[in-house]
Amino acid sequence: MSDQYRVQNPVNNQVVEIFDFISDEDLGTALDCADAAFAQWREVSFEDRAALLHKIAELFDAKRPELTRIIAEEMGKPLDQGEAELNDVVNIFNYYADHGAELGADEPIEHTGGEAVIRKVPTGVIVGVMPWNFPYYQVARFAAPTLMAGNTVLLKHAEICPRSAEAIQAIIDEAIQVTGAPAHLYTNVRATHDQVADLIADMRVQGVSLTGSERAGRAVAATAGQHLKKALLELGGTDAYIVLDTDDVEAAADTAWGKRIANTGQACTSNKRIIVMEDIYDDFVDAMVRRAKAFAQGDPLDPQEGHFYPLSSRDAAEILDEQVKKAVEEGATLHVGGELTGDGAYFTPAVLTDVPVGSESYYAEFFGPVAEIYKVASDDEAVKLANDSNYGLGGAVFSQDEERAKKVANRVVTGMIHVNIPQARGPELPFGGVKNSGFGRELGTLGMDEFVNKQRFYVAD
């Protein structure tokens, strides 16, 4: 963890603004207020909760220029990709506003001798610990279903995202004021990791949702387990992206490269291990190398086609640089890129092949613009390689023969798997993984079920 919350522009590594941690006293007050708000919010109808979420969506939509510039400076996201992130945010809040009542409705149980239902009862204050790679989207997919279910939220954002965290708070506060919802439903807290642990330990906190690293997930899960609290964890991924065949290698490379370079490669569901059948492998690698070479360094505030952007921080770029160098030391071939440039967080897009299966680098997550490409000779070998991972978040399988692709996809052990598309998007699609990628699900019909008490409610005849 950083020793401070700060805005540090990854373009030039300059610290723009520093923010203080919250005091223990103020954190206690925030928890008191969130708990008091829960007592009111749990009694509010789904219709009135929906009004709040619709207003939040409307405000996110209206404040796009300000919001996209904030994260461009905080973590280097180009303005056009910030716009795409806000599209997801607006859709998520509207989805739960539109469907929350049906998702939270009682579920009848067939039973002779009485009336029985499963009720979805809100539980209380839920702590969210969110990352920097999608500063608005990650918060939305946690907060929207949690609030719609009738809970209240204490949100600890990443240390490098204090301004976007404040912007989210301001939007929700404005929506609360306009709709007349109870104050303190959502509170941003610039907490330390120790303070987060103290929150989880408090009896009024009923659960914690974390999106972040495997290490952070282990720490939060241990604390939650010690205090018997519900935890939802969305952690790392080394998603397999399997290309079984294609009649257009250039088009296949375009699709794969577009997925890998999105968000400067800083997504849990990036195609971090690209597995290609041997008959098209050489041509595919050549095509990927040409694309990496063609990309030029860009400005997040002036996005252009064919540009790459800084990683979230200089620290992140240096970690990635060390990972690539280690992979080469272990026997991998670096075809292009892999260089730190300037004083900021720019790292030239790289293509790696021949990473030794079973090596430390093979099992590592490269969180940045590095395409790892592996050659296989059969569908069985592709599946074996795909499943030889500590993670199991997402993945994709491509083939002109859809049935072949579906058979391979059916054998990949992961929380989300796709056929002939890098990744499907939509607030109605549940998101989450298995193995060291965590547990629990966000979004979709499952998103509101994570932090509710599924209570058996029985009335005798």
Residues labelled as active-site residues: 234, 268
Kindly tell me the burial class for residue 170, based on how many C-beta atoms sit within 10 Å of its own C-beta (0-12, 13-18, 19 or more).
middle
Cβ(307)–Cβ(276) under 8 Å? no
Counting other chains too, the contacts that 247-256 makes at CB distance below 8 Å and 24 or more residues apart are: 247/400, 249/280, 249/283, 249/284, 249/287, 250/287, 252/280, 252/284, 252/287, 252/398, 253/284, 253/287, 253/288, 253/291, 254/291, 255/398, 255/422, 256/284, 256/288, 256/371, 256/422
**Cβ count within 10 A of residue 377:** 11
Name which of 66, 41, 86, 55 is nearest 175 in CA terms: 55
Q: Tell me how far apart the alpha carbons of residues 128 and 157 are, in angstroms, rounded to a whole number.
A: 8
Name which of 144, 4, 138 is nearest 451 in CA terms: 144
Half-sphere exposure of 229 (CA within 13 A, CB side): 29
Name which of 270, 276, 275 is nearest 416 in CA terms: 270
Cβ(234)–Cβ(446) under 8 Å? no
Cβ(377)–Cβ(279) under 8 Å? no
Place of tokens 């610990």: 129
Name which of 239, 199, 296, 223 is nearest 435 in CA terms: 239
Q: Alpha carbon of 127 to those of 24, 199, 208, 242: distances in Å? A: 16, 8, 5, 37
CA angle at residue 260 from 351 to 403, to 5 degrees?
Answer: 105
Q: Tell me how far apart the alpha carbons of residues 72 and 65 are, in angstroms, rounded to a whole number.
A: 11
Q: Tell me how far apart the alpha carbons of residues 368 and 348 are, in angstroms, rounded to a whole number.
A: 10
Backbone dihedral region of 57: left (phi > 0), alpha (psi from -120 to 50 degrees) or beta? alpha
Q: Alpha carbon of 43 to those of 123, 139, 149, 407, 449: distances in Å? A: 12, 24, 11, 48, 18
Cβ(11)–Cβ(76) under 8 Å? yes
Reported as type and span, the H/E element at residue 57 is helix 46-62
Q: Tell me how far apart the alpha carbons of residues 170 and 188 are, in angstroms, rounded to a whole number.
A: 10
